Amino acid sequence: MTISKKIVLLGHFGVGKTSLVRRFVENTFSDNYKVTIGVHILKKEVKLPENQVNLIIWDIEGSEDITTTRPSYLLGSHGFIYVFDTTRKSTYENLAADLEHLKSGYNDVPVLVVGNKSDLVTKTHLRENKKYFDQAHYFSSAKTGENVETLFEELTQKLID
């Protein structure tokens, strides 16, 4: 049985949303960064033991204020991946408020919080920012591929449970 599910990647500009999607869908990484304007939609089939799930992945433009995200981008979402950049405090210092906004408008939609660019930070940096980073479900690196498959597979499993 094949099921289709829409997931949306959210977060500030330059946190690596596009790189995560490209690593997951195409298993590629590029240092040539291009800003996403509007939305870029990719698809990937995930095979789970009991189901095949077609993920329709919406990589939307970054926003410093999640409340300004176009509601039409979020409409009909089955899951969210909220991405922040572990090297840039401005992308995670309002994490709690952003997650509260998502919860208030989309309470039944699961959210995975991902600290990206983990290959660029030290364990000391992670400890020093523990109060922010405790909210992350995963630390990933689109460059090395660390946790990329895992986080998409976990969200996919949550969508069918």
Query: Which amino acid is present at 70?
Result: R
pLDDT band at 45 (very low <50, low <70, confident <90, very high): very high
Residue (of 36, 54, 21) closest to 145 by Cα position:
21
pLDDT band at 36 (very low <50, low <70, confident <90, very high): confident
- Please report the pLDDT score of residue 28 as a whole number: 93
Dist CA 73 CA 36 (whole Å): 14
What domain range is 38 assigned to? 2-160
CA distances from 99 to 23, 29, 136 (A): 25, 28, 11
- Structural domains in the chain (count): 1
Q: Is 12 exposed, middle or buried (0-12, 13-18, 19+ CB in 10 A)?
A: buried
**Residue 114 · residue 82 · CB < 8 Å:** yes
Query: What's the pLDDT tens digit per position in 69-81?
Result: 988 999 999 999 9
Whichever domain contains 115, its CATH number is 3.40.50.300
CA distances from 19 to 23, 83, 100, 106, 142 (A): 6, 11, 26, 25, 6
Query: What's the pLDDT tens digit per position in 58-116?
Result: 999 998 888 889 889 999 999 999 999 999 999 999 999 999 999 999 989 999 999 99
Query: What's the pLDDT tens digit per position in 118-141?
Result: 999 998 998 999 999 999 999 999
Q: What is the mean pLDDT of residues 11-38?
A: 89
Which residues does residue 121 pair with via DSSP β-bridges, in sequence order?
none
**Residue 159 · residue 53 · CB < 8 Å:** yes
